[in-house]
Amino acid sequence: MVKKTLSPKTETLLYWTGVLMAIFHIWVNTVGVMPEIQRNAIHFGFVLFMGFLIFPFSYRTARALKWLDILLALLSVACALYLVFFEDALHARNEVPILADLIFAAISIVLMLEITRRTAGYIIPCLAITFLGYALWFGQYMGGMWQFPGVSVERMLYRMYFAPDGIFGTIATISSTFVFLFVLFAAFLLKSGAGDFIIKLSVAVMGKMIGGPAKMAVFASGLMGSISGSAVANTVGTGAITIPLMKRVGFSAKFAGGVEAAASTGGQLMPPIMGAGAFIMSQWTQIPYLKIVGVAIIPAMLYFLSVAFFVHLRAKKDGLGVMEDHEIPKLSEVIKEGWHFFIPLGVLIGLLMAGFTPTYSACAGIASIVVASWLNKNTRMGVKDVLDAFAKGSQGMVTTGVILLCSGIVIGVVLMVGAGIKFSIMISGIAQGSMMLTIILIALASLVLGMGLPVTASYIVLAVLAAPSLEMLGASLIGAHMLIFWYSQDANVTPPVCLAAYSAAGISGSAPLATGVESWKLAKGLYIIPLLFIYTPILFQGSWFEVAEVSVAAL
């Protein structure tokens, strides 16, 4: 959903709340000492408080905070503080909650469902309600392996509020640590001027080629995606420049929008940030984040090459896409002006390779952005710039945080009822032991989920339900999750809910559905390239020469 105009008072409140949120998360992930569930509860409070103000119940009175939104925002804070102050008492009660526990748990779930409806639509809340209903009531009326005896409302509320697999559990931990800090890292990098540098670098490298503006979009989206981790932000950030250029040299509006959306979708596949899914995968599988990044980089490059190949064919066919010489800056001048933007990425990757945690590496990377910005007088970040980056990063975290926190409800119920194993057994039964048929079924499930769920939620649902079926057939743990991670990305380009494509259509002026179909056709590498994860384990355990050999063969 698109954030609409808010009142100045609301904007000011959101600004300083965002600054406070960023400072808290940096403190608690570096020198602060706080129990995990308390940190996650405060994270919940910040995310929902800001969410109810950014996405009010109605925009018809946009210049005034409506009492309902204020009430819901304050209730979110109250639910978080109750958990912070009474954690020890909740532990002592040992799954025998008192009435106050149940009331705050119920309010937390209702608030979570409502803010998810406002930020991400009805699909995720409906999915969560369906799983809750299955565990509480109608599971006992189903036959075969899907029969479940049910749990009491009291036990369900307690687990969702206090258990490690509830709202404040594993997924909330990922949201309040890795994801938030990397979103903040991206906000700082973009605030320092890295976005403009990426566009100039892309023009300098690709401008003189056939289909130059379209290839520039692919190149820029790869670079921008490596730091933003958001396909929609990537589309809006680079598309504002690349889409008009593509149209000017003769590409149709829907093709220009489709190229940008397809290329921006690949941004979530490009290390080091890779969106929230990579952090979820690391935490869920206990595979080091650095290993996931190492495995991901070659396939991500292949994806961008596949999109560029489609662009080249279209440009060749129609004779389109050469930019004027005066529009193309000299590469040497661009690098001379913006070389310092590579320093924070070097710090981030270097610390990860040295064995430091992703949270520490991200915090050090943020500090290095501020320091590196002073190497060029045109990009120097002052106190106001730092505060702006704090606020921008926190506000940019709201939608992602809401989706992750609500996904905690789905995961908690799935684990409680054993739905993951049941779903995997069902897929295995249909596929009759065929790995390829299993992959096709998962791809179809991803396609359907992508029509209604955003990327992160799609990956979480598929990872919980479908990954075990691939492992049963001999796929490696990282291979199964990487394939599902890739397939979940089609949520950005699969109509009718394809936010990246719709964002591109808004810039190009083309029909949203037609742009979505065009981007879906251009993004076919999402389905083919991930097969490498299943059928070529060399990517995980081969030598550099063997990895290079497989990469060339894939081309």
One-letter amino acid identity for 536? Answer: T
Q: Provide the 3-class DSSP secondary structure of residue 466.
A: coil
**Mind listing the pLDDT tens digit for each residue in 494-547?**
777 677 888 888 888 888 888 988 998 899 889 889 998 888 766 666 555 565
Asked which of 110, 143, 162 is the last residue of a domain, the reply is 162
Decide if 363 is inside a domain: no
**Does residue 222 carry a pLDDT above 90?**
no
Decide if 474 is inside a domain: yes
Per-residue pLDDT, 48: 97
Decide if 336 is inside a domain: no
Per-residue pLDDT, 3: 47
Per-residue pLDDT, 1: 41
From the number of C-beta atoms within 10 Å of its C-beta (0-12, 13-18, 19+), residue 222 rates as buried
Angstrom distance (rounded) from CA 195 to CA 338: 11
**Mind listing the pLDDT tens digit for each residue in 406-456?**
988 888 888 888 877 788 888 888 888 899 999 999 988 888 887 767 778
Distances (CA, A) of 314 to 69, 150, 214, 215, 256: 49, 56, 10, 11, 11
Decide if 213 is inside a domain: no
- Taking residues 205-221, report their average pLDDT: 83
Per-residue pLDDT, 2: 41
One-letter amino acid identity for 46? Answer: F
How many domains would you assign to the chain? 2
**Does residue 492 carry a pLDDT above 70?**
yes
- Tokens read off for 33: 């000492």
Distances (CA, A) of 28 to 145, 180, 276: 44, 12, 19
Decide if 340 is inside a domain: no
- Tokens read off for 1: 């959903």
Helix or strand (DSSP H, E) at 355: none
**Mind listing the pLDDT tens digit for each residue in 74-123?**
999 999 999 999 988 888 877 788 899 999 999 999 999 999 999 888 88
**Does residue 58 carry a pLDDT above 90?**
no
Residue 372 banded pLDDT, cuts 50, 70, 90: very high
Distances (CA, A) of 305 to 45, 474, 540: 42, 30, 21
Decide if 183 is inside a domain: no
Give percent above pLDDT 70 in the chain.
93
Any idea which of 23-32, 164-173, 268-277, 378-387 has the lowest mean pLDDT? Answer: 268-277
Distances (CA, A) of 127 to 3, 85, 409, 494: 24, 31, 10, 19
Angstrom distance (rounded) from CA 293 to CA 364: 19
Count Cα neighbours of 16 within 13 Å in the Cβ-side half-sphere: 5
484 and 269 Cβ atoms separated by less than 8 Å = no
- Taking residues 257-272, report their average pLDDT: 87
Distances (CA, A) of 228 to 20, 39, 152, 271: 22, 24, 42, 10
Angstrom distance (rounded) from CA 465 to CA 218: 33
Per-residue pLDDT, 553: 59
Contacts of 265 (CB under 8 A, 6+ apart): 231, 489, 490, 492, 493, 500, 519, 523, 526
Angstrom distance (rounded) from CA 266 to CA 458: 16
- Tokens read off for 506: 């808004």
From the number of C-beta atoms within 10 Å of its C-beta (0-12, 13-18, 19+), residue 542 rates as middle
Helices (H) and strands (E) in the chain, counts: 30, 0
Helix or strand (DSSP H, E) at 165: none
Decide if 230 is inside a domain: no
Q: How far apart are the first and last CA of the chain?
A: 37
**Residue 158 CA, distance from chain mean position:** 28
- The boundaries of the domain holding residue 90 are 8-162
- Taking residues 453-467, report their average pLDDT: 84
158 and 108 Cβ atoms separated by less than 8 Å = no
Asked which of 110, 141, 162 is the last residue of a domain, the reply is 162
Q: Enter the pTM of the model.
A: 0.85
**Residue 73 CA, distance from chain mean position:** 24
**Does residue 246 carry a pLDDT above 70?**
yes
Per-residue pLDDT, 532: 85
Per-residue pLDDT, 44: 96
User: What is the rounded radius of gyration, in angstroms, for the C-alpha atoms of the chain?
Assistant: 23
Helix or strand (DSSP H, E) at 439: helix 435-450
From the number of C-beta atoms within 10 Å of its C-beta (0-12, 13-18, 19+), residue 317 rates as exposed
Asked which of 114, 143, 162 is the last residue of a domain, the reply is 162
Angstrom distance (rounded) from CA 1 to CA 123: 13
Per-residue pLDDT, 554: 56
Per-residue pLDDT, 540: 61
The secondary structure of the chain in percent helix, strand, coil, rounded to multiples of 5, reads 80, 0, 20
> ∠ CA(327), CA(331), CA(335), 5° rounding?
125
Decide if 507 is inside a domain: no
Angstrom distance (rounded) from CA 448 to CA 451: 5
One-letter amino acid identity for 369? Answer: I
Average pLDDT, the chain: 86
One-letter amino acid identity for 504? Answer: A
Count Cα neighbours of 288 within 13 Å in the Cβ-side half-sphere: 10
- Tokens read off for 332: 């040497």
358 and 289 Cβ atoms separated by less than 8 Å = yes
Q: Provide the 3-class DSSP secondary structure of residue 157.
A: helix
Residue 185 banded pLDDT, cuts 50, 70, 90: very high
Nearest residue to 523 (alpha-carbon basis) of 322, 239, 231, 227: 231
DSSP sequence for 377-438: TTT---HHHHHHHHHHHHHHHHHHHHHHHHHHHHHHHHHHHTHHHHHHHHHHHHHTT-HHHH
Angstrom distance (rounded) from CA 175 to CA 180: 6
